[in-house]
Amino acid sequence: MQAILRLFEVVRYAVVTAAVNFWRHRTMSAAAVFAAAVMMLMLNGFVIVVSNLNVAMGALEQKVNLIAYLKEDPPQAEVTRFSERLRANPLVADVTYLSKDDAMARLKQQLAERKDLLEMVTGNPLPASLEVRLKDVNRISDLAAQLRGEPLVEDVALQQDVVDNLLRITRYARVAGLAMVIGLMGITLFVIVNTIRLAVYARRQEIEIMKLVGATDWFIRWPFVLEGVLCGLIAAAVTTLVVGASYQPAQQQFLTLVQFLPVNLDPTFPLKLAALTAAVGVTIGAAGSYISVRRFLDV
């Protein structure tokens, strides 16, 4: 029982001391909170952009990735065998056969409001085709090369430009986002380290007395670590409030601007983002405080 009471007293001392130090050096604390909040806002923006790009890539994978146009009047038995062989390909997720009549029916449906264009079409010039959906759109060029060598295939149309553009945008967004987050994390660590060092310097005589009477380094360190954690949590709360207030309007605006691309509409995504933000805030605050106090105690 006495051990529990002592532990409670130690925890109470660490929490109260952290709160007092945070308020005593509120100008520096506010600077640390501001730096951490800016960093986490950038992190949130980076995660939101990348998640939407991943959703767009996933939607693209669910659509037809390439179309193999067949030669004129191929034997149906050969088309069936070719389709089954394609389905057995480890790169292929699904294959759909579209006959000449089906292709014309689709064209008429797509041009239902442009009957003048349909009247210009005589007969049925459209070829039969196989619409192929891949498991991994990164392998679309490999499969296209294979299909072009098939005797039944006249031509292959693929969405390589769309795939390449999305992959390029995703890659650039990840690199740029990571670079910005790493830079802002460095700035945040610098501000938090100096904030805690100021608090340590102001209490240097008290710390020396505590060490003389036998206080352990961790007993001295915990209030400062908690002060850094407090900075991180406040910054995470501010970031979550800002992102929470602007997330849905921003998503709707983005959806209006780019109706051809899906966005991440997962209702639990903001909660996951808030949890990630809180974890980053606690980590960056505790790390900054630990580094600062460790240097001062020379341990």
Cα maximum dimension of the chain: 100
Pick the CATH number of 65-158 from 3.30.70.3040, 3.30.70.60, 3.90.1200.10, 3.40.50.2020: 3.30.70.3040
Q: Which of 5-9, 97-101, 249-253 tops mean pLDDT?
A: 97-101
Kindly report the number of other CB atoms within 10 A of residue 41's CB atom. Answer: 17
Of residues 101 and 120, the one with the higher pLDDT is: 101
The per-residue pLDDT for range 19-68, each reduced to its tens digit, is: 887 787 777 778 878 888 888 888 888 788 777 777 766 666 566 578 88
Domains in the chain: boundaries = 2-60+164-297, 65-158
Radius of gyration, CA atoms only, the chain: 31
Whole-number mean pLDDT of the chain? Answer: 76
Residue 134 contacts residue 166 (beta carbons within 8 Å)? no
As a whole-number percent, the residues of the chain with pLDDT over 90 amount to: 1
